[in-house]
Amino acid sequence: MKTQFFRIGSAFREEELETAAELIRQGGLVAFPTETVYGLGADAENAHAARKIYAAKGRPSDNPLIVHICDVSQVFEIADNVPEDAERLWTAFWPGPLTIVLKKNGRIPIETTGGLDTVAIRLPENPVAKALIRRSGKMIAAPSANLSGKPSPTSAAHVIEDMDGRVDGIIISEDCRVGLESTIVDLSEERPIVLRPGDIGMSALRRVLPDAVLDTQLKGGHPKAPGMKYRHYAPRAELYVTVGERAVQQEKVFDAMHRLLEAGKKGAILCVNESVSIYRRKRKDLLVLGLGDKGDSREIARNLFGALRRLDEEGIDLCVSESFSEGESGDAVMNRLLKAAGGKTI
Ligand code: AMP
Ligand code: MG
């Protein structure tokens, strides 16, 4: 398949947007930027188009898609029994990086919702995303625009790497402001359950919904978001995450590198900016990537997926990462990092 490219940033030609919107209307696939990560979009009401998303990503078809809307009133077109908590959430956080799971009516096909009787809905803040949804006249179903198992794409270059030749169109735009997938809150049950942490953290959510609880703290920690059960974000490199005080972690990083690096293998370290020079001074043969200043969890979140992709590009065999649990996005960063590491900590 020949992929069309569209350059749509703060300045763009209307015809480009219209051509991309027309591809969506015709049941095609268009990758587009959002503030979280780039999405792989299709008409949410078109079952055939939804199936093409799974094929393009190589994604299991029981892993549901998020329906992106451009106006709050669209929630009532696709969801049943919308609770007051939903309105509280969207008043506080939309447009923005928050997805709300609600009971669905019959309008969105099961292909889009992975066979579930609930639907995940988000009103994004990114102006290009909103313009595409509005111009197409469709609600747009989209997962992240990466090949299944690869880190979510946070730049147009990542999308092109994974999706060129597999989709009808790719919108080339700015890097994603947040860089991690949306916070998902399930309101289809008695109590609000956070299925996936994100840029909107637990403390911000609890200001709006005081009884919101993290999924992993329920039912012995079995995640309910179908996507959470798959191996995700995994680089080819063996990845370990150190835990403990920062100074202790730095010792552990060196210790692990010495023990694990066999002759001829390539090693990398992911760390806070404050640690970079410490590692570089001790060893010249390692790739050392600073993800952001220690307190700046938003910057670290923005850089994480790009750094994981970089490990593969550089042919890294072994990577040891510091922890990044400080700050409002700390939970979300550690959730993705530990998944990438398959839970391996030092
Ligand atoms: P992605 O943006 O690629 O992570 O894909 C969308 C994510 O939303 C997946 O992890 C899904 O598991 C989650 N999701 C979508 N719809 C639902 C739903 N109805 N219930 C629970 N999780 C959902
Ligand atoms: Mg994804």
| pLDDT tens across the length of the chain (346 residues) | 999 999 999 888 899 999 999 999 999 999 999 999 999 999 999 999 999 999 999 988 888 999 999 999 999 999 999 999 999 999 999 999 999 999 999 999 999 999 999 999 999 999 999 999 999 999 999 999 999 989 999 999 999 999 999 999 999 999 999 999 999 999 999 999 999 999 999 999 999 999 999 987 666 545 566 666 556 678 889 999 999 999 999 999 988 888 888 777 899 999 999 999 999 998 888 999 999 999 899 999 999 999 999 999 999 999 999 999 999 899 999 999 999 999 999 9
Residue 220 belongs to some domain of the structure: no
Ligand 1 binding pocket mutation candidate from 146, 184, 230 (most atoms within 8 A of CB): 184
The finding on whether 215 has its CB within 6 A of some atom of ligand 1 is no
**225 lies in a domain?**
no
- Does any domain span residue 128? yes
pLDDT digits (tens, 9 = 90+) for 82-111: 999 999 999 999 999 999 999 999 999 999
Partner residues linked to 213 by β-bridges: 193
Query: Which tokens hold the place of 316?
Result: 């890294």
- 205 lies in the same domain as 273: no
Residue with the nearest Cα to atom 11 of ligand 1?
227
Which residue's structure tokens are 């839970």? 343
Please count the structural domains in the chain. 2
User: What domain range is 46 assigned to?
Assistant: 4-214
Residue 232 lies in a domain: no
Question: Which of 198, 214, 230 is the last residue before a domain boundary?
Answer: 214
Ligand 1, atom nearest to 116 Cα: 19
- Residues 153, 273 within the same domain: no
Q: Which residues pair with 245 in a beta bridge?
A: none
Number of the ligand closest to the Cα of 67: 1
Ligand 1 atom closest to 226 (CA): 12
Probe ligand 1: pick from 66, 148, 218, max atoms within 8 Å of CB? 66
Same-domain check for residues 161 and 296 = no
From the list 13, 21, 62, the residue with the least C-alpha distance to 41 is: 21
**Helices 156-163 and 297-313, interaxial angle, to 10°?**
40
Alpha helices in 146-269 (DSSP H): 156-163, 202-208, 246-260
User: What is the CA(94)–ligand 2 centre distance, in A?
Assistant: 21
Structural domain includes residue 72: yes
Contacts of 40 (CB under 8 A, 6+ apart): 29, 30, 31, 53, 56, 57, 142, 143, 144, 145, 163, 167
- Distance from the alpha carbon of residue 195 to the mean position of ligand 1, in angstroms: 9
Single out the residue in 179, 214, 249 at which a domain terminates: 214
Shared domain check, 173 and 52: yes
Whole-number Å distance between alpha carbons of 52 and 49: 5
Locate 23 and state its tokens.
């591809």
What is this structure's pTM?
0.94
> Do residues 286 and 204 both lie within one domain?
no
Type of residue numbered 161: E
Instruction: Specify the amino acid at residue 126.
Output: N
Pair 49, 157 in one domain: yes
Which residues, at least 6 apart from 271, have a Cβ–Cβ distance to it below 8 Å?
A: 253, 279, 288, 289, 290, 291, 321, 322
- Sign of the alpha-carbon dihedral angle for 241, 300, 70, 233: negative
Distance CA 157, CA 173 (A): 10
228 belongs to a structural domain: no
Query: 146-166: per-residue pLDDT in tens?
Result: 999 899 999 999 999 999 999
Asked whether residue 154 falls in the same domain as residue 280, the answer is no
**How far apart (Å, rounded) are the C-alpha atoms in residues 202 and 30?**
32
Together in a domain, 201 and 247: no
> What's the gap in Å between 63 CA and the centre of ligand 1?
7
Query: In the structure encoding, which two tokens stand for residue 141, read together?
Result: 């179903």
Return the amino acid letter for 21.
A
Q: Do 209 and 245 share a domain, yes or no?
A: no
Residue 224 counted as domain residue: no
Ligand 1: residue of 65, 67, 148, 216 to mutate (most ligand atoms within 8 A of CB) is 65
Q: One-letter amino acid identity for 37? A: V
Q: Is residue 133 part of a domain?
A: yes
Q: From the CB of 227, is ligand 1 less than 6 Å away?
A: yes
Paired tokens of 330: 């700390």
CATH number, domain with residue 28? 3.90.870.10
Phi-psi region of 298 (alpha: psi -120 to 50; beta: other; left: phi over 0): alpha
Last residue of a domain, one of 214, 229, 247: 214
Q: Are residues 39 and 105 in the same domain?
A: yes
> Looking at the structure, do residues 262 and 167 belong to the same domain, yes or no?
no
Centre of ligand 1 from the C-alpha of residue 114, in Å = 9
User: 183 CB under 6 A from ligand 1?
Assistant: no
User: Is any ligand 1 atom within 6 A of the Cβ of residue 202?
Assistant: no
Question: Per residue in 177-194, pLDDT tens?
Answer: 999 999 999 999 999 999
Task: Please tell me the residue having the least CA distance from ligand 1 atom 23.
Answer: 225
Check pocket membership of 41 for ligand 1, CB cut-off 6 A. Answer: no
C-alpha angle 202-206-212 in degrees, rounded to nearest 5? 80
101 lines ligand 1 (CB under 6 A): yes
CB 64 near ligand 1, within 6 Å = yes
Q: Are residues 86 and 13 in the same domain?
A: yes
Residue 181 CA to ligand 1 center (angstroms) comes to 10
Return the CATH number at 265.
Answer: 3.40.50.11030
Residue 333 to residue 339: CA distance in whole angstroms: 10
